[in-house]
Structure 1
Amino acid sequence: MRGPRTSWTRYLPLLLTALLCALPALAWAAPGVPGVPALPDVNVGKIGGQPVSLPLQTLLLMTAITLIPSMLLVLTAFTRIIIVLGLLRQALGTGQTPSNQVLLGLALFLTAMVMLPVWQKAWGSGMAPYLNGEIDFQTAWTLTTQPLRAFMLAQIRETDLMTFAGMAGHGTYDSPDAIPFPILVASFVTSELKTAFEIGFLIFIPFVIIDLVVASVLMSMGMMMLSPMLVSAPFKILLFVLVDGWVLVVGTLAASFNAV
């Protein structure tokens, strides 16, 4: 009898936890029971003039949170920065050093530094007045997205914009505000990819030259079995450190974005 009793008592904390979690639901189900407080009927927000319940608003909020990583990738300077840092690591030939976590952390802080003026304008013109009750949501949305649209338009190439406009069946636009948001985002992403690879190409050139020189020296010495990448790696790291490469790359990345 000792074994079954021990097995049953193992689940006693789980049963107590489930009972404690069920107490608020019991109080909600029986608001008329004397001595048992009932939770208030909370309605938060409105859609189409109808109140939205708290669980539904929580669901919408959690759904919006899942879109934050995608928005970070396609609506900010993160794409260009992380691609250039990845190409730099590949050009150095150091494998996984720096690690992905280090590159992502550096890219996030650089993105915050570049995007901070845009976010400040968006907050001051749109979100702050809306939270103070000075404007409605539609006006706040327009004023909040205008600095972001201006930032993306400053980085977009005209050829990319016309390409996506043609794919959508549109002609030329009368003003920047007339550009649909999906076309703006697609043009911004392709422009960022092109700019990132252009910067990466310029970063690769000195390291490729070092590889060619080392390979030529090894071939002339008859050391064909020795990997040129193994010999050139210390020289590339030394060159990168002597010219203070990280500061140069970070400064170039920050300066490569057109000011709004």
Structure 2
Amino acid sequence: MGFTDQRFTVNLSILFTELPLLQRPAAAAAAGFGAVELWWPWPDAPVPERSELDALRRAIEDAGVRLTGLNFYAGQLPGPDRGALSVPGAESEKFRANIDVAAGFAHSLGCTALNALYGNRVEGVDPAAQDALALENLVLAAHAADRIGAVLLIEALNKAESPLCPLVSAPAAVEVADRVDAATGLGNARFLMDLYHLSMNGEDLPAVIERYAARTGHVQIADNPGRGAPGTGSLPLEDLLDQIAKAGYDGWVGLEYKSGDRTGAESFGWLPR
């Protein structure tokens, strides 16, 4: 096994960002990739104009790449927000308005993984009330994902960069996924194992893989420190991905790292051709 044996998908919300959004799918294809993933591309618009959705769909189709993952609306990302579904008021309403839009867009491109970022704790709001709201919204999202044959992903972030988010460990994220499955009976809630975030939390990555590989619906990578490309930090990413594969995970691995001052295909010099 090794990097050459993995199925990599490029996150176009963090890579190729020197280009306008509609040019990034073709750039990924030109760099040799057949698959891409995205955060919700319109942070100010949970329900964008149909023309915007159609334009992005055409750009992905014309590039000949597959959309393998999409975030539901998550607020300002990148930015201060870490999701919207547990935030009372306007933000959770935006999340609900986005559910069918995101699922419909994903379905139109054959995408079968939808990521629902949990959101920050809000000062003065009972955490239990936020968790109850989150479960309500995640149940709706799980049903929408099920209707298009997709999994619902629950991601653990890291407490250094997301100090107000409660899902900052693998067990916390898997517990939420289990609660969603218990509430829906659908069994389509899965853990998004982001090795960068987990390493930032100081988690024992081999132990996390051993314990949760079977609950994992998607994997994302970046090196640590720095959130750069593999080889820029100290994480043994090749060995970790080998362990994940041996544990039975055969899905996509999302490249969700910062390329620094490198652009285009230069961002992937670590990857053997």
Instruction: Indicate the TM-score class for this superposition, using the shorter chain for normalisation.
Output: under 0.3
Greater per-residue helix proportion: 1
The structure with more radius of gyration:
1
More strand as a share of residues? 2
Using structure 2 for the length normalisation, give the TM-score.
0.21
